[in-house]
Amino acid sequence: MSEIELHGVSHEFSTPDGPFPVLDNINLKVPEGAFTSVVGPSGCGKSTLTRLISGLIKPTRGSIKLGGTEIVGPKPTVGMAFQNPVMLEWRSVVKNVTLPLEIVAPKMPAKEKEDRARELLKLVSLEGYEDNRPSELSGGMRQRVSLCRSLVHRPEVLILDEPFGALDAFTREELWQIMHSLRAEEKITCLLITHDLRESVFLSDEVVVLSDRPARSQYRTDVDLGPERSLDDLYTPKTTELLAVLRHQIEIAQGRK
């Protein structure tokens, strides 16, 4: 586990028409073991944020630290899951999950890799599907495999880029609960990018609202729901009020208020 710290991070893409600012002076801190959600209008630069933290691209200005050390490139202590849970269709489910271990721990015995993958698949209730082909799985199941793959190498930091965005409402709620049980087992610092306010509240300890592009941190709030959560918690007066506040902030971010 290690904390995520962004300090004055700005990023712009260079285009033929000059620099195109995406992020503007973002400050963010996810304490060790905490879960933070980032919400904001479409196209505000949320995905760029994940690519910066995973070291895939470098920020134009500012510093990003994981566990106190500045990131200069991709690190094996980071796990990532995307909205599109791409699978290696020619491999079995368990072999899809072990993929990161082949890069991070090439010398680990195959048996050990598979045991670790099977343990995670069991956690997400995919026991019995280990040897199936990904093409035999539903969208929700593929996303669960993708989550296992992002956790298999015991990363300290997990970055989730709208992983539940393309799923139907019921599957999504099911995966939220799975996410909670994964968090209970795997000690990890999480950053979730999402469009779904209920999702952000249900899963995290803190929600950050970004403004429209170029994105700035516009609002932040703690979520006091405790570690044990059920879907019913989303329908209490307290949560409803919190969701209304976030809704309002999103409308400000979209420039509608």
Partner 1 sequence: MEMRNNLVRKVIVPLTAIIIFLAAWEWIVWINDWPNYKMASPSDLGPAFWKYRVLFLEYGWDTFWRTVAGLGLSVLVGTMLGMIMGFSRVIREGLYPLLVGFNAIPKATVVPVIALILVGLDDLNTVLIAFLISFFPIAVSVSIGLSTLEPEYRDILRSLGATRLTIFWKIALPKTLPEFFGALKVAVTLAFIGTNLMEIVEPHGKGLGHLFDSGKINADYPLMFSVLIALAFLGIVLFYIVVALEKIFAGWAERD
Which residues between 32 and 61 bind partner 1 (CB under 8 A)? Answer: 51, 54-56
Partners of 210 in beta bridges: 217
Cα 254 from Cα 99, distance rounded (Å): 39
**Which of 29, 75, 180, 183 is close enough to bind partner 1 by CB under 8 A?**
75
Candidates 30, 69, 59, 64; CA nearest to 158 is: 30
The yes or no reply on residue 99 touching partner 1 (CB under 8 A) is: yes
Cα 88 from Cα 49, distance rounded (Å): 26
String of DSSP letters for 223-245: ----S---GGGGGSHHHHHHHHH
Which residues between 136 and 155 bind partner 1 (CB under 8 A)? Answer: 149, 153
Minimal distance in Å, beta carbon 163 to partner 1? 11
Give the interface segment with partner 1, choosing from 86-94, 124-132, 202-210, 226-234 (CB under 8 A).
86-94
Structure tokens at 181: 């049980």
The yes or no reply on residue 69 touching partner 1 (CB under 8 A) is: no
Structure tokens at 132: 């199936």
Name the amino acid, one letter, at 79.
G
Minimal distance in Å, beta carbon 10 to partner 1? 22
**Which of 4, 9, 66, 80 is close enough to bind partner 1 by CB under 8 A?**
80
**Which of 5, 11, 24, 82 is close enough to bind partner 1 by CB under 8 A?**
82
Backbone phi, then psi, for 70, in 5-degree steps?
Answer: -60, 135
Closer residue to partner 1 in complex, CB, 152/179: 152
Closer residue to partner 1 in complex, CB, 82/129: 82
Minimal distance in Å, beta carbon 51 to partner 1? 8
**Which of 9, 26, 78, 208 is close enough to bind partner 1 by CB under 8 A?**
78
Residue 212 is classified by DSSP as S
The yes or no reply on residue 198 touching partner 1 (CB under 8 A) is: no
Minimal distance in Å, beta carbon 255 to partner 1? 29
* Ranges assigned E (strand) in 60-173: 61-66, 69-70, 78-82, 157-161
Structure tokens at 41: 């209008």
Give the interface segment with partner 1, choosing from 70-78, 109-117, 175-183, 223-231 (CB under 8 A).
70-78
The yes or no reply on residue 104 touching partner 1 (CB under 8 A) is: yes
Cα 28 from Cα 8, distance rounded (Å): 9
Candidates 10, 39, 34, 13; CA nearest to 200 is: 39
* Cα-Cα end-to-end distance for the chain: 39
Residue numbers at the binding site for partner 1 (CB under 8 A)? 51, 54-56, 73-76, 78, 80, 82, 84, 86, 88-90, 99-100, 102-104, 133, 135, 149, 153
